[in-house]
Structure 1
C-alpha cells in the first residue's frame, strides 16, 4: 500500500492509485487468501479490486457480497443455468437477479464461499471476470441472434470476438470508468445501442449490385445522473473491421477519458467534448484500413423490441419462446425449471434479455404448448400481460449501497415494485399497448428509468409530520428507437405508498383522453406537466389536454 500524503485524496485519486498499485486482474490470489483468513482480514482497498472478478460488497457491508456473472449476449446452456440454480439455493438464500446487461447476479455470498462458487462456475465454462470494475463490462446483444426471422445478420461471431478481445486483456483492464458495449444484427435493435459506450448495429445499404449488410457505430451513450444518447458516427464497417474499431475506441477512452473526477469519467463526456467527427478521426488514426464514411439513414424502428411470447424461428418447424419474469428476480427452482424446459423441449439454450426476462430457443412446433404450460406453472408466463413483461427494477436498498429507496424484495414478499405491478394487473389487465415502466432506487439509473414510458426514480421526501419517507420522482415519455429520447421530469414526487394508484390513474387518463392515433408516449409528450401531475395525484381539478 502506498504511503499516504498529507492532503486528503479525492475519490477519483484514490481509485486511480488503487488500480495503479495492483491491477484488478491480479486480486484472485488475495481472494483465495482472504477466504482462509476471513472477512476481517480484507484490506479495504482490495474491496475495490474485487470488482474485477464480479464481486461487490452488499449493503449493509456486514460481510456479504454480490457476485455477478459475465454472460456475453445473455446466452446460457441448460447445464450452466442448472448449476447457477444449485449455487443460488446453496449460497444466495434461494434467489438471484437477471440484470439489464443480460447477466445473473447472486447475493448473500461470504468471502469463504466465493472461491468455491467461482470454481464451480469455471467448471461449466462461466466467468465473473470483468463483470464489474473500470473495464469493458459484459458485451450485450440481441438474445435471439441466429434464430429470429427479422434479424439482418447473426452477429454472434463478432460479439464473441470482441468479448475475447476485452476479457482478461491488460490493455483494457484499467479504464477511467466502466465501459459498456452492444453488438447486434437485430432488425429492431433490441440491444439498446443508443445508451452504450459503443453501439455496433447491423445496417442495410443499397448498392447498384444489390443490398449489402454492414455495421454502423454509435459512441458515447449512457444513463446515470447525466443521461446521453450515443452519437451516430459516419462509419460503415465490414464484419472484419468491427473488432479493431472496438479496440481503438477502448484505447481512446483509456488514454483520453477523465480520471480526475469519477462523476465525469464515463466516455460519454469525452464524446460530448470532442464531437463525433473528431472521435471518428481518432479511430481512423488507430486502424490500418480506410473507414467507409457512407452510412445509410437510420432505419425505422418499432417500439416493441423485447422478443417475449411465441415466435417462429428462421429454422423451419422451430420456435423461440420468451418468458416474462417479475423484475428479473428468479428463484433457484425457477432457474432449474427453465433449464429442464430448455434441455427437454428446446435446443438446450436459455437466453437472458435486457428487460430482465428469459428466452428458450429451438422449440419444435409440436412442443410449444408444453413449453408454455410448464413455464406458466413456474410463474414465468410466455403470454404475460404488458405490465409484467416490461416492468424493470434494480435491486434497491435491499442490497445496493447507492440506493436510497426500496424497489423489490425476496420473491413473494411485499415490495414497492410488487404493489405497483399488482395494481396495474388487477385494475388495467385489459391494457394492450407496449409500454415500459422502469423503477430505480436512486438517480444512477441501473434500472434505466430515463428510457421508460414511465420512470420511477427513488427519492426521499418529508411527510406532513416531518418524518422522512421513501418516494419516487416520476418521469414520462422516454424511449429508444427511431425517436429516442429521455423521460421528462414533470415535477411530481410521490410517496412510494401512493405510486400504485398514481400509475393506474395515469394510464386510465391516457385511455380516456388520448387520441385514436396516440401512443402513450406521444400522448405524454403533448400533454402538459400540470395536466400529467393532476392525473398522477388524483386531484379534483380537471386538467386540460395540451394537444
Structure 2
C-alpha cells in the first residue's frame, strides 16, 4: 500500500494538516451505500476525530488522524468500493455528477453509467496516475439540479438538439443528424471562463464520451513532464500548445486508437453547433442554487428525495450511522453527497415523508433551505490549515447560532467563510463572503474579517464593503445587514444579491450603518 504525503490527498496519499493527518475518500457521483457508511463511521471513530467533512466535490475527508490506518482497513475500503483497486490513480480528483442522476424529473440522461465507465477506465490504466491530481471531470445530465457551473477541467453537459442542421467543424467534419437527440456539450477548462477558454462547439453522443475523455487525457500526458512534483493544470498545457494544436492532436489520437469510433465521429456522433445553440441549452440548465434542499418529487411515481442540511458540511459518526439506518428503513439504502456539502436521501415513499422528517430532526439535522445553516460554507480554518488566518469553522457555527436567535429568514442566504484568499471551500462568490484577516490592536493580534458582497462578475469574492471587522462585532453587523435586506428589498422574491446589486458601496454602507463598527 502507498502511504505518501501529498498536497492533494487520497485514500493512499495522505496529507499532513494542522489537526493531524488528512485522508480523502473518492466517491464517484457522491453515492454511498449502507455498508460503506457504517465502515466510514467506524474509521472516523477509531482513527480520526469522530466526524467526516463533505467537500465541494462531493467526496469525504477524514480529519485528525493520529495513527496509520491498517492495511486490513484499507483493503476493506477497496472491497467496498471506497478506495480504488489501483492506488496509483486514487489521488485523481473525484468524478462529479448531478446528485439527482437517475431520479431528476427533467434530466435528459442518467449519467451514472458514464461516471462508472470513466472511473473504470482510469482504474484500468495506471499511467493515468501521472495526470495532475487536479485533473477533474464532471457529467451533467441536463436536469433541473445542475452541476455544470462547478469548477472542473472538463465538463460534459447533456443537451437535447431540437433543430436539424448540417455544419462542419474544422477538426471534426460531420454529416446530417436527427432531431431531439441527446448529446453532451464539451466544455474545457471552465464553463464560466469564456474570455480564457471558449466553448469549442463540440457535441458528443454518450458512447463517444469516454474515448474522447481518454484522448484529452493522453494528449495532456504527452506534453507533461511526469517527474514534476506539481503537474501543470490542463489549462496550462492548452495555453502552451494553443487550442487548434491541442484539438488536432486529440483527433489524431482518436484516429490512431479508436478507428471504428473515429469513422462514426465523422458521420453523426460529434457535432459542431453555433454558439447560440449552446447558450440556449445552458439557460435551460440554470436553477435555484439550493434547489436540492427540502422535499422534491422524483421521476419515479410516488417517490421523493429529501435534501438534508449539513452545517458546514460536517457529519458526526453517530449521524452517519443514523442516516444509513434511515435510508435502509425508508429509502433504497443509499445517500447522495452533493458539491454544496449537503446530502440527499432518495426513493422515499410519499406516504412516509412525515416519519422521515421526524427522524432527520432526531439526528440534529434540518432539511429547510431557509435555515441559516443551510447556506453557511467554511474552509477548515486555522485548526486544520496553516494558511488560514482565522478559526473559520467555529466562527461560522457561532454566527449561525446568533443569527438563528436574532432574526427570522424567509429566503436562502449563502455566507462563505474563507480563512485565506485561496477560497478552497467555495469557488464562486457567495451572497456574503467573510475573508479571515489578523487585526493588530494595541500590540494584540485579533481575528477578524473583510466583508464582501457577491455580484455577477468574475471577482473572486465580490465587492468589498468592510475592512478588518473584529470577530466580536461580526454577528451584530451581519444581523443588521440581513434585517436591512428584508426591509428594503423590492419584494419577497428579490434575492440578497439582487438587492445588493441595486446599490453602490457607499449607499450600502449608509443603509447598514446604525452605529460605528
Q: What interval of TM-score do these two structures reach, taking the shorter chain for normalisation?
A: 0.7 to 0.9
Structure 2: distance between partners of 1:271 and 1:461: 41
TM-score (norm 1): 0.79
1:307 Cα deviation after fit? 0.9
Q: Distance in 1 between matches of 2:39 and 2:12?
A: 18
Q: 1:325/1:177 Cα in 2 relative to 1: closer, same or farther (>3 Å)?
A: closer
Q: Distance in 1 between matches of 2:335 and 2:423?
A: 26
Query: Alignment partner of 2:487: what SS?
Result: helix
User: Which position in structure 1 is the counterpart of 2:495?
Assistant: 519
Gaps of 5+ in 2: 165-177, 255-261
Q: What is the deviation of 1:486?
A: 4.8
Q: Does 1:265 align with 2:232?
A: yes
Question: Which range is displaced more, 140-149 or 303-312?
Answer: 303-312
Kept after mapping to 1: 8 A contact 2:9/2:91: no
CA distance in 2, matches of 1:122, 1:429: 46
User: Any residues of structure 2 matched to 1:164-313 within 5 Å, and which?
Assistant: 164-167=120-123, 169-176=125-132, 178-188=134-144, 190-208=146-164, 210-221=179-190, 231-256=198-223, 265-271=232-238, 279-287=246-254, 288=262, 289-290=265-266, 291-294=270-273, 296-298=277-279, 299-300=282-283, 301-313=286-298
Q: Does 1:492 align with 2:459?
A: no
Q: Deviations over 1:438-477 (max 9, x none)?
A: 2222222221153322222323232x31322222233322
Matched, 1:453 2:428: no
Moved more, 94-103 or 304-313: 304-313
**365 and 491 in structure 1: CA distance in 2 versus 1, 3 angstrom threshold:** closer
Q: What are the Cα deviations for residues 342-392 of structure 1, in whole angstroms up to 9, with x where unaligned?
A: 111101111001111111111111111111110111012223534222222
8 Å CA contact 1:195–1:230 kept in 2: the answer is no
Secondary structure at the residue paired with 2:372? helix
Distance 1:129 1:67 in 2: 16
* Separation in structure 1 between the aligned mates of residue 500 and residue 432 of structure 2, nearest angstrom: 10
Contact 1:476 1:521 in 2 (8 A): yes
- C-alpha contact (below 8 Å) 2:44/2:52 kept by paired residues: yes
Tell me the equivalent position of 2:391. Answer: 406
Offset of 1:316 from its aligned partner? 0.5
Select which of 29, 47, 57 maps to 2:15: 57
1:504 equivalent in alignment to 2:479: yes
| Distance in 2 separating the partners of 1:270 and 1:451 | 27
Q: In the alignment, which of 359, 366, 373 is matched to residue 388 of structure 1?
A: 373
Q: Distance in 1 between matches of 2:84 and 2:407?
A: 40
- In structure 1, the partner of 2:167 is none
1:35 maps to none
- How many Å separate the matches in 1 of 2:74 and 2:195? 35
Give me the whole-angstrom Cα distance separating, in 2, the residues matched to 1:156 and 1:459. 42
Partner deviation per Cα, 1:226-276 (whole Å, 9 max, x = no partner): 999864331111101111222222234334469999999333444566676
Identify the match of residue 336 of structure 2 among 328, 347, 351.
Answer: 351
Structure 1: segments with no counterpart, 5+ residues: 1-27, 32-45, 409-414, 542-547
Q: 2:49 aligns with which of 93, 102, 105?
A: 93
How far does residue 519 in structure 1 lie from its aligned partner after superposition? 2.9
Measure how far apart 1:492 and its partner are: 2.6
Q: CA RMSD in A?
A: 3.3
Task: Tell me the secondary structure at the aligned position of residue 41 of structure 2.
Answer: helix
Alignment of 1:110-149 (within 5 A): 110-127=66-83, 136-149=92-105
The change in CA–CA distance for 1:135 and 1:47 in structure 2 (over 3 A counts) is closer
Q: Which of the residues 467, 474, 483 maps onto 2:444?
A: 467
